[in-house]
Amino acid sequence: MHHFIQLTDLIEELKACHIHIGDLEHVDAVLQNIISDGPDKLQVVADFDRTLSKYTHRGQICATCHNVLEEGGVLPDFYKEKALKLRDKYFSIETDPEMTIEEKTPYMIEWWTEAHDLLNMCHITKEAVQKMVANSTAKLRDGCKWLFDECHRASIPLLIFSAGVGDVIEEIIHQQSTLYDNMHIVSNYMNFDKEGKMVGFKNDIIHVFNKNENAIHKSDYFENLKDRVNIILIGDSLGDLQMADGAEHMKNKLKIGFLNTKVDETLELYKKKFDIVIVQDESLDLLNAVIRKVI
Ligand code: C5P
């Protein structure tokens, strides 16, 4: 407790009332280690939608990768109608605090399969993706540009692991910040034919609850970073907790979770699963405060 009081003095942002911590002593110890080991030992793994991107901007709900395609004003009306119907059906399952991940998974596979099939019918182009992103309400969180710039400057690897659409994520980052070479995106990427029209997706579906079993854990990504024994994981879904399962040599892992919806019903569960829970915040201030102490 004594240490924690010292630490909160160090990181002013931890004192904010929308920050919830289940185990203060644990967070204190992990943070002290991560800060004293410095930037060469750190790697960051982040979810994209509603983690690096905003859930709300000045109170108005912002677009996810998929919403960008719906509200972009480019794809045919039937796309938007059907995509919204799918979300009505499946989003409440995704965020249902009463269901287990095992119970939710088959529904998520159904959702992603149907959504990808629907998109395949639209023969979207890369230019259309640029236009839709520019037209959309998708926004990186306040402080995201600072995070990207500083992680790049300090050579801290940043993995963005998303069940959204990789092409849309890259475009959002290009338009609102910079995609640096220390950043790596693992997501659902579109395949384009010779005429530049989308013809399906590359690789297997990444949905919210299979971030434990995908390409990245089988690839050499974490193996190549095995000297970076400290990891900050940041997400908004319980599925995001598995994003760094492939990293086996971890000494210190700090799990930060944004709780964007169903706050009353879900806060206690999130406090058990994430080390730090941030409720209704449009910024990355807390993560950036930690990074600022590390570098
Ligand atoms: O980047 P992240 O992994 O959070 O992206 C997945 C999010 O996209 C999910 O939280 C889900 O609600 C949303 N989604 C959507 N439409 C789909 C599939 C997923 O809005 N067709």
Model confidence at 68, pLDDT cuts 50, 70, 90, reads very high
Residue 49: active-site member: yes
236 has catalytic annotation:
no
pTM of the model: 0.94
Both structure tokens of 280: 């209704």
pLDDT, tens only, 34-60: 999 999 999 999 999 999 999 999 989
What pLDDT, on the 0 to 100 scale, is given for residue 181?
98
129's tokens: 């993706």
Maximum Cα–Cα distance for the chain, whole Å? 64
Amino acid identity of residue 78, one-letter, is: F
Q: What is the pLDDT of residues 76-130, one digit of tens each?
A: 999 999 999 999 999 999 988 899 999 999 999 999 999 999 999 999 999 999 9
88: phi then psi, degrees, rounded to nearest 5:
-55, -40
Choose one of 53, 55, 62, 65 to mutate for the ligand 1 pocket test, by most ligand atoms within 8 angstroms of C-beta.
65
Of the residues 37, 40, 49, 77, only one is catalytic, namely: 49
Helix, coil or strand: residue 76:
coil
ipTM of the complex: 0.94
